[in-house]
Amino acid sequence: QVQLVESGGGSVQAGGSLRLSCAASRRPYSREVFGWFRQAPGKEREFVAMIRARGGSEFYADSVKGRFTISRDNPKNTVYLQMNSLKAEDTAVYYCAVAERYESDYRAYDYWGQGTQVTVAS
């Protein structure tokens, strides 16, 4: 079991940047994977990015590749999502999650944070 708390969401103009944080309640296990997902009104939850909990194997959705960067700070048990060149279509609630294996399907993730709203104004 692990608790996850997201922070860093807010409102920003198109082209701007935000840095989301996901703080975990314990040190991640080596097998675990952190993922970022988002859900916009009327749309299904979609994968954004993932990273192995202890680093490496970063992977991104095509829609954010080149603009978003996922990283982690192991001493703080925290994973980040740096979002640059934000677009209106990035507007969504962003969720941090943990899975037991490396995959991008949200249904495979066992633990979820409460989400943080990101609004990009055009």
Q: What is the pLDDT along the chain (122 residues), one digit of tens a residue?
A: 899 999 999 999 999 999 999 999 999 898 999 999 999 999 999 999 999 988 889 999 999 999 999 999 988 899 999 999 999 999 999 999 999 999 999 999 999 999 999 999 98
Please tell me the predicted confidence (pLDDT) of residue 122. Answer: 87
Longest dimension (CA), the chain: 40
**Residues paired with residue 13 on neighbouring β-strands, in sequence order:** 121
Q: What are the tokens at 36?
A: 């970022």
Site of tokens 């202890």: 54
Please tell me the predicted confidence (pLDDT) of residue 53. Answer: 87
Please tell me the predicted confidence (pLDDT) of residue 55. Answer: 81
Please tell me the predicted confidence (pLDDT) of residue 74. Answer: 83
Please tell me the predicted confidence (pLDDT) of residue 93. Answer: 98
- Identity (one letter) of the amino acid at 29? Y
Element (H, E) at 24: strand 18-24
Please tell me the predicted confidence (pLDDT) of residue 75. Answer: 87
Q: What are the tokens at 4?
A: 């996850």
Q: How far is CA 114 from the centre of its chain?
A: 12
